[in-house]
Copies of this chain bind each other. A is one copy, B any other.
Amino acid sequence: MKYCYSIDIGGTSIKYSLFDLSGRLLRSWTLRTNRAENGKYIVSDIAITLLADMDSESIQKEELIGIGLGVAGTVTANGLVTVAPNLGWRNYPVREKLQQLTGIPVFVLNDANAAALGEYAALTEPVHSMVFITLGTGVGGGVIVDGNVIAGCQGAGGEIGHLHVEDRETQPCGCGGSGCLEQYSSATGVVRICRKFLLRDKEKRSVLHGQQELTARTIFDAWKDGDEVAAKSVECMASYLGKACAMVACVVDPDLFVLGGGVANAGAPLLAAVEHYFFKYAYAGCKNNRFQLAILGEDAGMYGAARFVLQNKNQ
């Protein structure tokens, strides 16, 4: 029997899973991420965990074709993590280190790219190209053409969240730039937009005025209940996202845009709003690009990192 491990390294937890070569999930478990001392224990923790699992499950090293690693950071094609702020890594050769400790081939990719691959593999209808956009605390993404992730020359491929969509922004983005999509269309972005509208439209009635804890969820709930300020906020975040997708279409013109992440739980109405603005800003030649919601939720990265091993095992 042949297997691969898939590991999704996040800032708070590490999700382990074992797959067979048909891409079927055999089991998965989660452990805490030890971020002490700039994440220097993470790779040895992973190696110890995997070797112990192989031992207890009687899996031989020869039965493992590889370990897929999804990392919340910027990853180059040769498995160097240039920056992973939540793990404390900087120019960290994670592929090399984990290979040395386990003796098993390691394949590393960015977590959003892994999620993109996972969602791609889960499509019921195959497409040639797909762009996945994850709307969470930030905005991430992955571009897939002909089944392969476009990681880019320094791992910035699919960094949809940092598309420059607004010249007049005065506040900085987390990346140091200004006017990035992430400042509007993430969970924190829509809250930021909404706070502005609440301040500006003080006289407007809104259930969101004076709300103790304003979150993306409360805003989307109020939107669905017909709240006017919430509606303006959602329209605004959707218009930037539609505009960004129109930009993406002028570059790779994908068959399909897939929206995932917590914010995408707002579902079909949000999808419709984004699609509306996409066609407003898109090049006239763009008529056939389709939009749909992601289906794997937080498991997308796990499935995608496994698929990445299966794709690259012969390299």
Contacts and interface: CB of A to CB of B under 8 A. Distances in A.
A4 interface: no
Interface string A262-295: 0000000000000000000101111111000000
A159 B285 contact: yes
B254 A159 contact: no
B82 A160 contact: no
A286 B154 contact: yes
Nearest to A155: B285
A128 B278 CA distance: 30
Interface in A139-166: 143, 145-146, 148, 150-160, 162-164, 166
A175 interface: yes
B283 A156 contact: yes
Interface string A238-251: 00000100111111
Nearest to A180: B283
A255 interface: yes
Contacts of A160: 250-251
A163 B285 contact: no
Contact of A164 (B158, B281, B284): B281
Given A83-B285, A145-B145, A251 B157 contact: yes
A244 to B, nearest CB: 9
Contacts of A228: none
Contacts of A250: 156, 158-160, 162-163
Contacts of A150: 129, 145, 251-253
A176 interface: yes
A167 interface: yes
Contacts of A148: 146
Q: How many copies does the complex hold?
A: 2
A126 interface: no
A246 B156 contact: no
Contacts of A289: 153-154
Contacts of A145: 145, 150
Residue from A143, A148, A162 whose CB has the most chain B CB atoms within 10 Å:
A162
A135 to B, nearest CB: 16
A177 interface: yes
Contacts of A152: 129, 249, 252-254
Nearest to A175: B284
> Ordered nearest first, which 10 A-B pairs have the shortest CB separation?
A152-B253, A156-B253, A162-B283, A157-B253, A153-B255, A251-B251, A156-B285, A159-B250, A175-B284, A163-B250
12 contacts: A74-B285, A150-B252, A152-B252, A153-B253, A153-B289, A154-B288, A154-B289, A155-B253, A156-B286, A158-B250, A162-B284, A177-B283
Given A127-B153, A157-B252, A166-B167, 13 more contacts: A151-B253, A152-B254, A153-B289, A154-B288, A154-B289, A155-B285, A156-B253, A156-B285, A164-B281, A180-B283, A247-B247, A248-B251, A252-B252
